[in-house]
Amino acid sequence: EADIYQTPRYLVIGTGKKITLECSQTMGHDKMYWYQQDPGMELHLIHYSYGVNSTEKGDLSSESTVSRIRTEHFPLTLESARPSHTSQYLCASSVPGGRAFEQYFGPGTRLTVT
Amino acid sequence: AQKVTQAQTEISVVEKEDVTLDCVYETRDTTYYLFWYKQPPSGELVFLIRRNSFDEQNEISGRYSWNFQKSTSSFNFTITASQVVDSAVYFCALYRGSTLGRLYFGRGTQLTVWP
């Protein structure tokens, strides 16, 4: 069973607030990912990281930022939340090396910005 | 470009019916992996199956079966004798054989099984 955690699971917040979505994994995986999922839509990669101090933007342009100071921790921050940020955010990590296709997903954070 | 198409947005069946979820993919890579994930209302993604591009054998796991056909770029998923607990959104995904390790997801198919 994968050990990847996301907090909070649900968040309702007002416009303009700064928020951080937490993601942690205890498997020692180097690669971590953030996906954004709007209702009825596919998951879009918004950020990824190859390891500590390595972060890259994904396909979907996002106003969020990420950091990777520790291997196990990959938080996502929105400096000023807007209603367009309402979505589900899924964090994932993958096995190092040639088996990077084995991705483990966290339970997700459902964000609602009012 | 990589692309995954799930043409069926929503499917409704009555319990015990068989149902097939379609997935068509597009890639120029020769090495790739295909996946099916289940997303129940709670929101997490549950891994169901992975196939690599060199293995076209169909697979059966209990009530689930998968039909991979490279000739038509399809990777369809069949649930036999569906149950209410099968109600969920099902995603097909494609992984490129590159170092990035990213997945390309289809839009998902909402399956509702009525008692």
d(CA B82, CA B77): 12
Task: With cut-offs at 50, 70 and 90, classify the pLDDT of residue A38.
Answer: confident
Q: Is the pLDDT of residue A80 over 90?
A: yes
Task: With cut-offs at 50, 70 and 90, classify the pLDDT of residue A42.
Answer: confident
CA distance A43 to chain B (A): 6
Give me the residues paired with residue B60 across strands: B65
Give me the pLDDT at residue A2, please.
61
d(CA B31, CA B55): 11
Which two tokens mark B57? 């054998």
CB-CB under 8 Å, B43 with A105 = no
d(CA B10, CA A40): 10
CB-CB under 8 Å, B100 with A48 = yes
Give me the pLDDT at residue B100, please.
63
d(CA B91, CA B37): 5
Task: With cut-offs at 50, 70 and 90, classify the pLDDT of residue A5.
Answer: very high
CA distance A113 to chain B (A): 18
DSSP calls for B38-95: EE-TT---EEEEEEETT----EEETTEEEEEEGGGTEEEEEESS--GGG-EEEEEEEE
Give me the pLDDT at residue A26, please.
92
Distances (CA, A) of B27 to B4, B9, B70: 9, 22, 11
Task: Determine which of A101, A109, A110, A111 to mutate to test the interface with B (most B C-beta atoms within 10 Å).
Answer: A101
Q: Is the pLDDT of residue B93 over 70?
A: yes
Residue A53 neighbours by CB under 8 Å, 6+ apart: A68, A69
- Name residues 42-61 of chain A within 8 A of B (Cβ): 42-45, 48, 58
Q: Is the pLDDT of residue B1 over 80?
A: no
- Name residues 22-41 of chain B within 8 A of A (Cβ): 33, 35, 37
Task: With cut-offs at 50, 70 and 90, classify the pLDDT of residue A41.
Answer: confident
Give me the pLDDT at residue B98, please.
63
pLDDT per position as a tens digit, B7-66: 999 999 999 999 999 999 999 888 899 999 999 988 888 889 988 898 888 888 899 999
d(CA B65, CA B47): 14
Single-letter residue type at A37? Q
Task: Determine which of B51, B102, B105, B107 to mutate to test the interface with A (most A C-beta atoms within 10 Å).
Answer: B102
Task: With cut-offs at 50, 70 and 90, classify the pLDDT of residue A97.
Answer: low
Task: With cut-offs at 50, 70 and 90, classify the pLDDT of residue A98.
Answer: low
Give me the pLDDT at residue A61, please.
76
Task: Determine which of A41, A102, A103, A111 to mutate to test the interface with B (most B C-beta atoms within 10 Å).
Answer: A103
Give the number of other CB atoms < 10 A from CB of residue A43. Answer: 28
- Name residues 51-110 of chain B within 8 A of A (Cβ): 91, 95, 99-103, 105-108, 110
Distances (CA, A) of A66 to A7, A90, B36, B40, B80: 15, 13, 28, 27, 42
Distances (CA, A) of B99 to A31, A77, A95, B115: 10, 26, 12, 45
**H/E stretch holding A11:** strand A10-13
Give me the pLDDT at residue B97, please.
64
